[in-house]
Structure 1
């Protein structure tokens, strides 16, 4: 089965016998550990995906806000090299979180039953499906 670019390598492609179990395990790793206490999220992977999507999107926004204010908020408390290290952590974490959010969205779409179909562009190359 075709999976689009950005599909998490830890999740089996839809249609495989254990794909939903692999999706649940992966999604639980993307959210705070306390989410594991809710059986409803294991029984209903789509609900877990939805919650994970909202959680990670909020984390992306928090990281952006943190990055924008870190230098000002920390300038009286940390030396310049430490502030730069904090900003570098944000610069590394931000893209990771954005990629994670996109992968969660793909898994959520698959859990909703949306098929992924590889489409060719006019030059005959595969392009990312919508």
Structure 2
């Protein structure tokens, strides 16, 4: 049976059960997290724990992005032109979309590390 990755699976990570897939998952998850996480050997030994840390980290980034988006106009109104403020809003919106996709991907990887497997659909 050929390993299958669902839609939204990160292209940096091999599909579940492919040779070396967990190593690619660990590398990708560590790339999502603060650099300090690489020093914590427990996270490398317990990849499900690493995945949970990554989920929480991405969710915190999403919350920060939502907060920034809701406050940016008021925060910059006295120090930046409307054009600059609009560009900042657009940047937050782009990052919000990126983080949404990242949250889905990290959730899929976490599920696979917990044993979930995916099947190809025709």
TM-score (normalised: structure 2): 0.93
Match of 1:81 among 76, 80, 83: 83
CA distance in 2, matches of 1:15, 1:115: 9
Correspondences of 1:37-116 after superposition (within 5 Å)? 37-116=39-118
Cα offset, 1:117, TM superposition: 2.4
In the other structure, the counterpart of 2:4 is: 2
In the other structure, the counterpart of 1:123 is: none
More helix by share: 2
Q: Are 1:25 and 2:27 matched, yes or no? A: yes
1:70-109 Cα offsets, whole Å, 9 max, x none, are 0011101212111111111101110000100100000000
Using CA pairs under 8 Å that are at least 6 residues apart, name the structure with larger relative contact order, 1 or 2: 2
TM-score (normalised: structure 1): 0.88
Q: Between Structure 1 and Structure 2, how many residues are aligned?
A: 120
CA distance in 1, matches of 2:4, 2:15: 7
In the other structure, the counterpart of 1:122 is: none
Gapped regions of structure 2 (runs ≥ 5): none
Cα offset, 1:15, TM superposition: 0.9
1:24-80 Cα offsets, whole Å, 9 max, x none, are 000011111111110111111111100000110111111011101100111012121
Which aligned segments of 4 or more residues in structure 1 are displaced greater than 6 angstroms? none
Q: Residue 36 of structure 1 aligns to a residue in which SS? A: helix
Gapped regions of structure 1 (runs ≥ 5): 120-125
Cα offset, 1:2, TM superposition: 1.5
